[in-house]
A and B are shown apart, each in its own frame.
Chain A
Amino acid sequence: MKNAKGVPAKHAAKSPLFALFIRDLRASQRIGGGTSLGVVFFLILVTLSAFAIGPDLALLGKIAPAILWISGLLATLLGFDRLFQADHEDGSLDLLLTSSTPLELIVLVKCLAHWIVTGLPLAAAAPFFGLMLNLPINQLWSVTLSLLAGTPALTLIGAIGAALTVSLRRGGLLLAILILPLCVPVLIFGVAAASAGPDSLMPFATPFLILCALTLIAIAGAPFAAAFALRQTGT
């Protein structure tokens, strides 16, 4: 591909989705704490729960998977309202609509970048915070794996809410009310998988595979729902 002056256009070789992925990762790094803020919020929620429940170590260890999952769910909520709203406000959402790349794929790539910045650090921090809650050592990996498999579903469900509330100034609370009920199945099977240890009755694999299935369903369905909502923003 050559331009009017015969110089090859450099961007012709670069994929639009890769360019979008790089842009979103860069922008989230520059905010200064996009990544660390979610993890810090996660840490505060875990610590507050420990203070509220008191010094009963046996009880704390027993309910640690549930605390970690609820804290993780609330921490992922933090960044959703900006997922599409930032693009809507500065006008780049309009440009994404005039791209020949399908909006569904654009949504999926934006979710991937968002998950790497918010969901992945939560899963990585979970075993350390599990130790703070007296979680048995042999359950640390099940908590981590369940968060790793479940947080993508949370991000994608959040994207639907973010797309629906994109043009609302104070959409954060409405977004939480819209998407938290939809997160219930993920929470149930996530906690079930996280609680499974070598000595528990339920094997790890059963809830974990259902959790993976929920994530796959979200990957297949959520981009269409979010893209449909985004196309309606003008009207």
Chain B
Amino acid sequence: MIEESVILVVCAAHGFIIMQLSASRLTVERGGRILFSDLSFAIETGGSLTVTGPNGAGKSTLLRVLAGFLPLAGGTLSLTPASGETLAEQAHYVGHADALKSLLTVTENLEFLGPMLDAGRGGMAVEKALAAFGLSHVAGLPAAYLSAGQRRRVALARLLVVKRPVWLLDEPLTALDAASQGLMAQIMAAHLAEGGMIVAATHTYLGLAGRELRLGAVP
């Protein structure tokens, strides 16, 4: 009995369960034009995938496909072990838009996203997540008054407020200063260490150790 409880504690401290995100022979169409076809990759627990490529190569489209916003023209996408939740419900999507209501305060924005995105995995209290991103002093300000970098950090703070295993990040470091970029690198490393997965589309170096997927140029 004692050994069993010890094992349980170890599993809980590990964070997410062991899972694999695999894509095989993905084909994606956008406006009647095939962006890429026969794209395959797999990411294991604690792994990351950096998607690079020139403008228009389909980096953002790939992330939107993974988040379930766009349909697949071909191929399969699966997260194993299978659960009742879809990939979209287990993934955080941080896109170009910050998804903040300008009229609501920073705290109100995150207090809404917390329950909305929570799927029983819990997460950090809003004040703690804001403190982690160095935003405590703007917590009571309407989002409209924030700078582009601060808005970005609030958008990224929801990664901590709600725990989800897969992070889909589209240009996560846009508008961030050097200190915040370092901070984000630490937070991503901690997420991977906890057993999460990251798929990030970027033009800059993110410091992720995982594989790189280079999407081709548009003819």
Contacts and interface: CB of A to CB of B under 8 A. Distances in A.
Nearest to A98: B88
A10 interface: yes
B88 A97 contact: yes
B108 interface: yes
A98 B115 contact: no
Sort chain B's interface into a size bin: 35 or more
Given A4-B124, A16-B117, A94-B93, 16 more contacts: A3-B163, A11-B123, A11-B126, A14-B115, A26-B103, A27-B103, A27-B104, A30-B103, A31-B103, A92-B99, A92-B100, A95-B117, A98-B67, A98-B68, A99-B116, A100-B85
Nearest to B12: A2
B116 A16 contact: yes
A91 B98 contact: yes
A164 B104 CA distance: 26
Interface stretch (A17-25, A75-83, A199-207): A17-25
Contact of A23 (B15, B68, B95, B104): B104
Nearest to B129: A3
Query: Interface centre among B98, B102, B125, by most A CB within 10 Å?
Result: B125
Contact of B95 (A91, A101, A235): A91
B91 interface: yes
B44 interface: no
A233 to B, nearest CB: 8
Nearest to A32: B103
11 contacts: A3-B122, A7-B128, A9-B123, A16-B118, A26-B104, A97-B69, A97-B88, A98-B88, A98-B89, A99-B116, A100-B85
A22 B112 CA distance: 8
A234 interface: yes
Sort chain A's interface into a size bin: 35 or more
A1 B97 contact: no
Interface in A131-185: none
Interface in B64-121: 64, 67-71, 85, 88-89, 91-93, 95-104, 108, 111-121
Interface of A: 1-5, 7, 9-12, 14-16, 18-20, 22-23, 26-27, 30-31, 89-92, 94-101, 234-235
Nearest to A231: B69
Given A3-B163, A19-B116, A94 B99 contact: yes
B122 A91 contact: no
Contacts of B67: 94, 97-98
A235 B71 contact: yes
A27 B101 contact: yes
A20 B118 CA distance: 13
Nearest to B67: A98
A103 to B, nearest CB: 11
Query: Interface centre among A9, A96, A101, by most B CB within 10 Å?
Result: A9
A92 B101 contact: yes
Given A91-B95, A95-B99, A100-B119, A10 B71 contact: no
